[in-house]
């Protein structure tokens, strides 16, 4: 035993990081390929206007995908994000019919998101309902309240300045949406990969009770992650509502599945404990490029989701098939 | 715990039913009851299939898209070839459903992709395929043959074919889960996958089996849905997968696998069915229906979680 | 090979030249093993010696890279767990492989439910299950769900399962580790009964007293090879340990004499409904307080309350004579109290996380400047600790799951020492780890108390408690049965206190 207790030699790079890197390189290659394809498809693709147009295709979903990624890494999930967006949109729309200021409207939307997220968080932490069950329920509840309040009406009396959030540009071709998303992505990446909180989050996702035993306040983390997801959904709702200029209770319908697909596409393990923000951002860009490219050749939305669904299974399944056939050495 | 859960749920359903019936006697009339059950039948069939999948610790988000795809396919076949006899049509719906379920099942079994990821993907694929086969068109009642439409409404002993199918589904599933080795292996696989492997139960195979069975039911419901609502388009049953899962959750099926009963699922479906059919009578805007069922799901989930929590403290002290 | 009944002296199972590697590591290397009908063979070896790989090959979970398995005189390839069962090989696993939501009867017959016309015959299943449980002196209602049974009862259900398909070779992996003294005796009687029926038994255990009580032969594994074998009666604990570690271990339980300081922690009249009542004790600087009790005596529950994991409903906890009320482990850690839980796989360690993340987890704040983690300093400190604890590892970023049980436990201990604890609560710190690691942990405990730490040692292993403790607190059914000084604590007294009615 003594001869085996030798100190270890440091190994240049870890297998874990290798695997992660490979995943992101793979995604980046797919993004590049798609980019090249789009250039082929349309001569106008490389113009700055087109490229900033592309960003509108994914920023709202991608914005929500960021806290969703953190949530999934921590071993939870939130199915109610799109319903939260709808509820926030309806509340903002109602307030906009009064003489409320722009700040009040946006503040109201964010507050609704905060409450919705806090309720989800309370269900999961205080009442110990499994996250997927709890948020399937609140998805129905939040969307239902939106329908109940609005019925088949449409709200569109937003003040003119409101249009800035979803349509405005900050500098040159950089839209407000893109700026907000970029800032949020950098923040999330730093939070996850560079702070003690991020490390605890990963530990929670790997094994909740061991993390708890090691002094991590697991429920506090989970609760605030749900709140963050709620608030971010509301922010995405501000962007979407502003871009569309109107609110129906069916706004953002089905978007939760797109968002979760984006996160998984980004290499986040659905079982928790593993994932990176870079991957999620790449997946978001990929989605945006693909949707834009398909739009160029007039592919309808439902077929685009078909292709995204196939891509999801392919991208998650291929490495597994590869490992089986020993293409990739583990 | 499950029998107590079922008793509580039955009581709640009964209270709700009596409360509505007290003010609106027509709700409790034989015809009213039959209508409510008829209206809930498709949910029951789909929830039974979903329950099998959930027993193995999996989940099927693609079930409503499978309903749409098979429903669209049989509607198109019927439109193009009205001469094809109904048994063949129904059989082909079930077969197509089985294939769709098998795709899910094989991806889960052979590639070991988490079920939620697989069915999230196939949800989009099946829905997209529905659009592709129909070219985005609607198939209206005028395009369907009369027997295609009337079969589900055919009555025997006062109940529609649809209702009888739901009853048959309940009995069949109950027998399967109680008396067949395959049915029992679903519980074993979901309750403790690691242990299941040690005793020679192939967890992936059990999951695949559940997905195929669920697919057959979804395929069948594809025809039933299209015939009952007399229309087929890309968006039919959109989002219904979550209602189905909700019925299972209310019925006490654990999302963590290994526990759940047919009776519980039946009660969960009836509970949702009674609410859905009572709301219009109570002059509540149909737009509030979704919120009410959401509130019910949340409440049921909280109550279930509380039931699971209770026995955690081990009794050590005597007296 | 023609039809041949094995002769009386031929082994029932023979392994020759079995080798198995995982990636780059050799788990088994040319293993030879023979097991005989009507005989109990003890398999001993440190963790990581290849015992569990051997079990997995015998049950068809892994396939050997090389070598031959002969069973009943025929060369066989064991394809799967189901195939192993068909052959008549049954394993009773360390952690009960049972289904909580299924009944006793179904757990027993989970692979071969009796059928009638293709349908499961529940009445017969219950009847047969009842009969099997009675044979094991454990007349349980076959309709009970497994989640309502005790650890020992779950184990018996697994044995009944092995009996149900009439296994000719029964492998028992650490069967007595989680059992109380009385339960373990019952189990040993059953094992002897199985042998007397003419079955072959392979008995894997770290508890030497059990092995000497029932085994006929022994085989010692070290570093993936069988290094010694012989008849049990002709050997001694020392010889076995020597072959296991390849050298002699001076003493298993070295006790360092340390001058005791002032009392650090004082628990007064602590109670929590259904778990424990009116427990009072104190622990001083430099002291090891042993806490002994049978499994289920409320020891872990008591410690978890002290650590803030659960909340005591009455009584008080004082640190340096000031009352504290830990509401969460984080509060206890801030007060420099550490708790190493018993269940290493699920509570102590995070197997899928890297070694460095595991060690740093409880003291991340130390490596943080303005919110940012200083990765370099973290790696340096963690590496120092890993070496100080003599952890065997390839690199700090490899997942903890790749280490052996003993090394995982050292990583868990390193995590807690990094929090600079003044009171260290160890709950079964050496459970299921090999002799070498065990000795290392004991030696470290001696070092720590010398440095002024106070240690509370919760253990079911009587020699460990008696050998290391300054005082022994004995618990019975959630209550204090007595506190004994080192001089008055002997095995008989402690056992009497722990089990007396």
The DSSP annotation for C41-104 comes to EEEEE-TTSSHHHHHHHHTTSS--SEEEEEETTEEE---SHHHHHHHTEEEE-SS----TTSBH
Token readout for A252 is 């953002």
Q: Are B123 and B65 in contact (CB under 8 A)?
A: yes
How many Å from the N-terminal Cα to the C-terminal Cα in chain B? 24
Q: What is the largest CA-CA distance in chain B?
A: 76
pLDDT digits (tens, 9 = 90+) for C190-232: 899 889 989 999 998 877 788 888 999 999 988 788 888 999 9
Name the β-bridge partners of C22: C25
pLDDT digits (tens, 9 = 90+) for B267-310: 999 988 988 888 888 777 878 888 888 888 888 888 877 766 54
Judging contacts by C-beta atoms under 8 Å, the chain B residues touching residue C161 are 199
Question: Residues with Cβ < 8 Å from B15, sequence gap 6 or more?
Answer: none
Residue among C77, B135, C474, C386 at smallest CA distance from A8? C386
For the beta carbon of residue B146, count every other beta carbon within 10 angstroms: 9
Interface of A with C in 92-121 (CB under 8 A): none
The pLDDT value given to residue A254: 81
Question: Residues with Cβ < 8 Å from C292, sequence gap 6 or more?
Answer: C299, C459, C460, C462, C465, C472, C473, C474, C475, C494, C498
In whole angstroms, what is the distance from residue B146 CA to residue B273 CA?
A: 28
* In chain A, where the domains are located: 22-34+42-319
Model confidence at C149: pLDDT above 60: yes
Q: Torsion angle of alpha carbons C79, C81, C86, C88, nearest 10°?
A: 110
Judging contacts by C-beta atoms under 8 Å, the chain C residues touching residue A14 are 354, 395, 397-398
In the DSSP assignment, the letter for residue B299 is H
CB crowding B107-131: b at 16 or more within 10 Å, else e: bbbebebbbbbbbbbbbbbbbbbbb
Token readout for C31 is 């293993």
In whole angstroms, what is the distance from residue C64 CA to residue C75 CA?
A: 14
Token readout for C315 is 């009584």
Query: Parallel, antiparallel, or unpaired for β C471-476 and C479-485?
Result: antiparallel
Query: Parallel, antiparallel, or unpaired for β C372-373 and C368-369?
Result: antiparallel
Residue among B110, C382, B237, C194 at smallest CA distance from A199? C382
Distance of CA B96 to the CA centre of its chain: 17
Interface of B with C in 46-105 (CB under 8 A): none
Name the β-bridge partners of C373: C368
CB nearest to C80's CB, from B194, B200, B317 = B200
The pLDDT value given to residue C8: 54
For the beta carbon of residue C117, count every other beta carbon within 10 angstroms: 6
Token pair 């070991």 is found at: B112
Average pLDDT, chain C: 86
Q: Are A65 and A123 in contact (CB under 8 A)?
A: no
The pLDDT value given to residue A10: 40
Q: Are B287 and A86 in contact (CB under 8 A)?
A: no
Helix (H, G, I), strand (E, B), or coil: what is residue B140? Answer: strand
In whole angstroms, what is the distance from residue A144 CA to residue A128 CA?
A: 23
In whole angstroms, what is the distance from residue C274 CA to residue C380 CA?
A: 45
The pLDDT value given to residue C49: 77
Query: Parallel, antiparallel, or unpaired for β B139-140 and C372-373?
Result: unpaired
CB nearest to A1's CB, from C245, C341, C397 = C245
pLDDT digits (tens, 9 = 90+) for B46-88: 999 999 999 999 999 999 999 999 999 999 999 999 988 999 9
Mean pLDDT of C436-449: 88
Model confidence at C30: pLDDT above 60: yes
Model confidence at C1: pLDDT above 50: no
| Cβ-defined contact of B301 to A123 (cutoff 8 Å) | yes
In whole angstroms, what is the distance from residue B117 CA to residue A315 CA?
A: 11
Token pair 């709890």 is found at: A134
Alpha-carbon radius of gyration of chain A: 21
The pLDDT value given to residue A180: 95
Query: Which of the two residues, A261 and C8, has the higher pLDDT score?
Result: A261
> Which region among A322-326, B291-295, C275-279, C464-468 has the lowest average model confidence (pLDDT)?
A322-326
Question: Residues with Cβ < 8 Å from A309, sequence gap 6 or more?
Answer: A261, B120, B121, B122, B123, B124, B125, B128
The pLDDT value given to residue B24: 82
| Dihedral (CA of B285, B290, B291, B296) sign | positive
The pLDDT value given to residue B314: 57
Q: Are A285 and B108 in contact (CB under 8 A)?
A: no
The pLDDT value given to residue B312: 47
Query: CA of C170 to nearest chain B CA: how many angstroms apart?
Result: 14
B201 reaches C (C-beta below 8 A): yes
Q: Are B33 and B184 in contact (CB under 8 A)?
A: no
Measured between CA atoms, the residue of chain C closest to residue A272 is C352
B156 reaches C (C-beta below 8 A): no
Judging contacts by C-beta atoms under 8 Å, the chain A residues touching residue C361 are 199-200, 203, 211, 214, 216
Please report all neighbours of B, defined by 3+ CB atom pairs within 8 A. Answer: A, C
In whole angstroms, what is the distance from residue C301 CA to residue C277 CA?
A: 11
B111 reaches A (C-beta below 8 A): yes
Residue among A312, A328, A308 at smallest CA distance from A320? A328
Token readout for B12 is 């709640």
Distance of CA A36 to the CA centre of its chain: 25
Q: Helix B262-281 to helix B30-55 angle, to the nearest 10 degrees? A: 140
Q: Are A257 and B123 in contact (CB under 8 A)?
A: yes
Q: What share of chain B is helix, strand, coil (3-state, %, to 5)?
A: 80, 5, 20
The pLDDT value given to residue C421: 94
In whole angstroms, what is the distance from residue C340 CA to residue C412 CA?
A: 7
Per-run averaged pLDDT (10 residues), chain A, 330 residues = 37 49 76 82 75 81 97 95 97 93 96 98 94 90 94 91 90 88 95 92 93 94 97 97 93 88 89 91 89 82 86 81 61
The pLDDT value given to residue A301: 82
In whole angstroms, what is the distance from residue C70 CA to residue C60 CA?
A: 14
In whole angstroms, what is the distance from residue A119 CA to residue A121 CA?
A: 5
In whole angstroms, what is the distance from residue C53 CA to residue C27 CA?
A: 7
In whole angstroms, what is the distance from residue C196 CA to residue C40 CA?
A: 10
B310 reaches C (C-beta below 8 A): no
Judging contacts by C-beta atoms under 8 Å, the chain A residues touching residue C365 are 196
Name the β-bridge partners of C318: C266, C323
Taking domain A22-34+42-319, whether its CATH number is 1.10.10.10 is answered by no
Mean pLDDT of B178-184: 92
Q: Are C402 and C349 in contact (CB under 8 A)?
A: no
Q: Are B133 and B75 in contact (CB under 8 A)?
A: no
Mean pLDDT of C154-175: 86
In whole angstroms, what is the distance from residue A215 CA to residue A220 CA?
A: 12
| Cβ-defined contact of A139 to B288 (cutoff 8 Å) | no
Name the β-bridge partners of C438: none
Model confidence at C433: pLDDT above 80: no
Exposed / middle / buried, residue A65 (Cβ in 10 Å: 0-12, 13-18, 19+): buried
Alpha helices of C215-354 — where are they, by DSSP H? 237-245, 299-306, 329-334
Mean pLDDT of C319-344: 93
- Domains annotated for chain B, with CATH where assigned, are 2-305 (1.10.3470)
pLDDT digits (tens, 9 = 90+) for B146-176: 999 999 888 888 899 999 999 999 999 999 9
How many Å from the N-terminal Cα to the C-terminal Cα in chain C? 60
* CA atoms in the 13 A half-sphere facing the CB of A22: 12
Q: Are C185 and C137 in contact (CB under 8 A)?
A: no
CB nearest to B198's CB, from C97, C274, C479 = C97
The pLDDT value given to residue B311: 44
Token readout for C198 is 């003419």
* DSSP sequence for C249-277: -S-SS--------SEEEEEEEEEETTTEE
In whole angstroms, what is the distance from residue C189 CA to residue A84 CA?
A: 62
pTM of the model: 0.83
Query: Which of the two residues, B263 and A3, has the higher pLDDT score?
Result: B263
How many Å from the N-terminal Cα to the C-terminal Cα in chain A? 28
Query: CA of B84 to nearest chain A CA: how many angstroms apart?
Result: 30
Residue among A233, A67, A128, A84 at smallest CA distance from B294? A84
Distance of CA A146 to the CA centre of its chain: 22
What ipTM goes with this model?
0.83
The pLDDT value given to residue C7: 47
In whole angstroms, what is the distance from residue B305 CA to residue B236 CA?
A: 33
């Amino acid at each position: 035993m003594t001869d085996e207790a030798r100190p270890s030699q440091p190994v240049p790079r870890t297998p874990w990081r290798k695997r992660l890197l490979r995943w992101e390189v793979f995604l980046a290659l797919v993004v590049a390929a798609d980019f090249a394809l789009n250039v082929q498809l349309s001569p106008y693709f490389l113009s700055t206007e087109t490229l900033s147009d592309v960003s509108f295709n994914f920023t709202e979903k991608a914005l929500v995908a960021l806290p969703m990624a953190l949530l999934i890494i921590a071993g939870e999930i939130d199915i109610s994000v799109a319903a939260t967006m709808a509820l926030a949109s309806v509340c903002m729309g109602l307030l906009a019919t009064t003489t409320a200021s722009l700040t009040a409207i946006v503040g109201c939307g964010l507050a609704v998101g905060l409450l919705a997220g806090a309720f989800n968080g309370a269900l999961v932490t205080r009442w110990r309902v499994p996250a997927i069950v709890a948020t399937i329920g609140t998805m129905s509840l939040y969307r239902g309240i939106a329908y109940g309040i609005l019925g088949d009406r449409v709200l569109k009396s937003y003040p003119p300045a409101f249009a800035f959030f979803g349509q405005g540009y900050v500098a040159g071709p950089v839209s407000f949406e893109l700026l907000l998303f970029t800032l949020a992505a950098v923040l999330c990446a730093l939070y996850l990969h560079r702070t003690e909180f991020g490390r605890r989050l990963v530990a929670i996702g790997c094994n909740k009770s061991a993390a708890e035993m090691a002094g991590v306040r697991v429920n506090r983390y989970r609760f605030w992650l749900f709140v963050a997801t709620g608030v971010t959904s509301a922010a995405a709702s501000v962007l979407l509502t502003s871009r569309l200029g109107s609110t129906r209770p069916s706004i953002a319908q089905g978007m939760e599945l797109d968002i979760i697909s984006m996160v998984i596409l980004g290499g986040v393990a659905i079982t928790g404990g593993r994932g990176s923000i870079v991957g999620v951002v790449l997946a978001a860009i990929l989605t945006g490029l693909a949707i834009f490219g398909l739009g160029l050749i007039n592919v309808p939305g439902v077929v685009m989701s078909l292709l995204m669904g196939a891509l999801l299974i392919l991208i998650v399944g291929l490495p597994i098939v590869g490992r089986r056939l020993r293409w990739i050495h583990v | 715990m499950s029998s107590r859960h079922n008793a509580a749920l039955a009581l709640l359903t009964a209270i709700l039913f009596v409360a509505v019936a007290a003010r609106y006697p027509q709700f409790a009339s034989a015809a009213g009851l039959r209508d409510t059950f008829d209206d809930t039948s498709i949910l029951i069939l789909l929830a039974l299939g979903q329950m099998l999948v959930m027993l193995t610790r999996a989940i099927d988000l693609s079930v409503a898209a499978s309903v749409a795809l098979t429903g669209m396919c049989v509607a198109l076949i019927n439109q193009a070839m009205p001469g094809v006899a109904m048994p063949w049509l129904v059989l082909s719906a079930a077969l197509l459903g089985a294939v769709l379920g098998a795709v899910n099942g094989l991806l889960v079994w052979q590639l070991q992709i988490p079920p939620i990821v697989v069915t999230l993907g196939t949800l989009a694929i099946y829905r997209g395929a529905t659009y592709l086969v129909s070219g985005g068109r609607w198939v209206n009642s005028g395009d369907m043959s009369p027997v295609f439409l009337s079969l589900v409404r055919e009555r025997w002993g006062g109940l529609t074919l649809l209702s009888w199918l739901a009853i048959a589904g309940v009995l069949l599933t109950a027998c399967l889960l109680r008396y067949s080795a395959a049915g029992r292996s679903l519980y074993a696989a979901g309750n403790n996958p690691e242990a299941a492997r040690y005793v020679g139960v192939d967890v992936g195979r059990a999951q695949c089996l559940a997905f195929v069975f669920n697919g057959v039911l979804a395929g069948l419901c594809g025809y039933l849905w299209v015939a009952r609502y007399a229309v087929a388009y890309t968006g039919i049953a959109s989002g219904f997968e979550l209602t189905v899962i909700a019925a299972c959750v209310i019925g006490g099926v654990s999302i963590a696998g290994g526990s759940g009963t047919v009776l519980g699922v039946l009660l969960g479906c009836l509970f949702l069915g009674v609410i859905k059919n009572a709301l219009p009578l109570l002059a509540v805007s149909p737009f509030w229906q979704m919120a009410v069922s959401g509130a019910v799901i949340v409440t049921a989930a909280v109550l279930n979680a509380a039931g699971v929590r209770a026995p955690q403290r081990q009794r050590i002290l005597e007296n | 090979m023609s039809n041949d009944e094995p002769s009386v002296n031929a082994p029932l199972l023979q392994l020759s030249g079995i080798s198995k590697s995982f990636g780059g590591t050799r788990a088994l290397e040319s293993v030879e093993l023979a097991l005989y009908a009507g005989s109990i063979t003890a398999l001993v070896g440190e963790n990581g010696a290849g015992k569990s790989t051997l079990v997995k090959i015998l049950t068809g979970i892994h396939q050997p890279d090389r070598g031959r398995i002969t069973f009943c005189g025929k060369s066989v390839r064991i394809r799967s767990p189901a195939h192993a069962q068909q052959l008549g090989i049954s394993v009773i696993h360390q952690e009960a492989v049972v289904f909580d939501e299924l009944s006793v009867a179904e757990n027993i017959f989970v692979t071969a439910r009796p059928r009638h016309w293709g349908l499961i015959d529940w009445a017969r299943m219950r009847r047969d299950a009842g009969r099997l449980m009675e044979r094991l002196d454990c007349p349980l209602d076959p309709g009970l769900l497994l989640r309502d049974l005790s650890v020992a009862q779950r184990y018996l259900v697994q044995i009944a399962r092995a009996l149900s398909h009439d296994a000719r070779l029964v492998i028992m992996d650490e069967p007595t580790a989680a059992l109380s003294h009385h339960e373990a005796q019952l189990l040993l009687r059953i094992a002897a009964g199985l042998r007397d029926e003419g079955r072959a038994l392979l008995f894997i255990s770290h508890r030497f007293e059990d092995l000497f009580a029932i085994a006929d032969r022994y085989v010692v594994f070290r570093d993936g090879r069988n290094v010694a074998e012989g008849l049990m009666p002709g050997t001694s604990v020392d010889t076995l340990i020597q072959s296991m570690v390849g050298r002699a271990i001076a003493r298993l339980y070295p006790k360092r004499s340390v001058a005791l300081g002032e009392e650090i922690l004082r628990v007064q009249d602590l109670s929590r409904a259904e778990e424990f009542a009116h427990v009072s004790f104190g622990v001083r600087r430099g002291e090891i307080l042993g806490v002994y009790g049978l499994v289920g005596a409320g020891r872990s529950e008591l410690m978890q309350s002290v650590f803030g994991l659960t909340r005591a409903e009455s009584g008080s906890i004082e640190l340096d004579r000031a009352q504290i009320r830990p509401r969460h482990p984080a509060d206890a850690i801030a007060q420099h109290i550490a708790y190493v839980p018993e269940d290493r796989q699920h509570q102590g360690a995070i197997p899928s996380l890297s070694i460095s993340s595991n060690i740093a987890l409880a003291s991340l704040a130390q490596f943080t400047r303005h919110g940012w983690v200083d990765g370099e300093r973290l790696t340096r400190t963690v590496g120092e600790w890993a070496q100080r604890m003599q952890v065997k590892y390839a690199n700090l970023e490899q997942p903890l799951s790749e280490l052996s049980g003993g090394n995982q436990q050292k990583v868990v201990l390193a995590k807690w020492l990094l929090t600079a604890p003044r009171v260290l609560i160890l709950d079964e710190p050496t459970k299921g780890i090999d002799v070498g690691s065990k000795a290392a942990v004991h030696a470290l405990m001696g070092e720590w108390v010398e440095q002024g730490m106070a240690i509370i040692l919760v253990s079911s292993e009587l020699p460990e408690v008696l050998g290391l403790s300054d005082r022994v607190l004995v618990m019975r059914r959630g209550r204090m049965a007595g506190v004994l000084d080192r001089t008055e604590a002997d095995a008989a007294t402690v056992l009497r206190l722990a089990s007396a009615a």
